[in-house]
Amino acid sequence: MRRFGLCGALAALWVLGGCGGGVSGDIGRACMAGGRNAANAQLCSCIQGVANQSLSGSDQRRAAGFFEDPQSAQEVRQSNRPGDEAFWRRYKAFADRAAAICG
């Protein structure tokens, strides 16, 4: 039981970016470069950690583009193409999870 607690705590630190260091990953870097007032290394690292658990590398690269071009997110969301619809479901699940975990 104690071992599980330690593993769970370490996993939470990883997801929250608690180990410090610079922000890495496509989404983390896009988050930092996006120009939002609330963006900081801790938040962007947390979001990247959730992305690592939720999205493939190609989905992360695609989603990172939304930080620079929010209109492209709207276009994907409204698309009727099956590939866009499937991506949007994955992206929405990621965004909801990131909001819940990273606040």
pTM here is 0.75
Q: Residue 65's pLDDT band (boundaries 50, 70, 90)? A: very high
What pLDDT is recorded for position 42? 92
C-alpha–C-alpha distance, residues 49 and 19, integer Å: 12
Query: How far are the Cα atoms of 4, 49, 82, 85 from residue 26, in angstroms, in the given order?
Result: 31, 11, 24, 21
In one-letter notation, the amino acid at residue 41 is: A
Burial of 87 (0-12, 13-18, 19+ CB in 10 A): buried
Residue 75 has pLDDT above 50, yes or no: yes
- Region 88-102: mean pLDDT is 96
Contact predicate 36/48, CB 8 Å = no
- Listed by start position, the domains of the chain span 16-102
The pLDDT > 70 percentage for the chain reads 80
pLDDT tens, 5-51?
Answer: 333 333 343 444 444 457 889 999 999 887 777 889 999 999 999 99
What pLDDT is recorded for position 37? 78
Residue 59 has pLDDT above 50, yes or no: yes
What pLDDT is recorded for position 2? 36
